Amino acid sequence: MNRRNFLRTSASASILAGTTQSLLALGDDNVYRKNIGLQIYTLRDQLKADLKGTLKAVADAGYQQVEPYGFPGGLEMIKIAKDLGLGVNSIHFDWEAAVNPTDAGFSDFKKIIEKAKDTGLSHLVVPYLHNKDRKSLDDYKRVAGNLNKAAVIAKEAEIQLAYHNHSFEFQPMEESTGYDIFVQEFGDEMMFEVDVFWVRAADLDPVSLIKGLSGRISQLHLKDIKKGLKLPMYGGLPKEAFKELG
């Protein structure tokens, strides 16, 4: 099934700025179709070659919104997307200001929040963690504590902060996992952006994870993973591991 047909027949390719209730009730007459979006980091190579042409192709394919990356950079990408009629509500941002604040007042993160507000964003997503921030469960606890503080600051500006997973968070550590720490430690203001591809890459069931996080998911990324891979895989995956939705 190609992406255009998928958009016509399915309720979601990537649900952005949604709710857990909507994630679990997508079959109701496709009422969440307007929330279908595309994480355009997937098209980073094409965007470098032809920014406007690539975004136009995304709009022509039927997507309603996009989730860019690199904020507070990438403003031209956001402007062109909006000019093409694509909504831009959520974005992956420079997470160091939230994960490793330079001061107790999170001044650098507050600048990002101000920029996000001026840009009309409603969601900021932490897209990754560097190795230095995930060597132990204590590292994950420290990160969770900082993200909780950042999430409160974001919420005061009516912006939702969320964390996007890969598979490394699910790798067993000291009879637990980094993701378990996040589930335990994240406060009410801190949400999850669940990427089902990476959950499956960790040899886990995305449906069970989503149900277990009821009320705590702000967005969902859907990608198909190739059958026959030896799982779990906690590092980088070859491009061949990704397959077309359908």
Q: Could you read off the pLDDT of 47-92 as tens digits, one per residue?
A: 999 999 999 999 999 999 999 999 999 999 999 999 999 999 999 9
| Structural domains of the chain, with CATH | 3-243 (3.20.20.150)
Say how far apart CA 220 and CA 51 lie, in whole Å: 25
Q: Could you read off the pLDDT of 132-184 as tens digits, one per residue?
A: 999 999 999 999 999 999 999 999 999 999 999 999 999 999 999 999 999 99
Structure tokens at 38: 């595309």
Amino acid found at 233: M
Rounded to the nearest angstrom, the gap between the alpha carbon of residue 50 and the centroid of all alpha carbons in its chain is 24
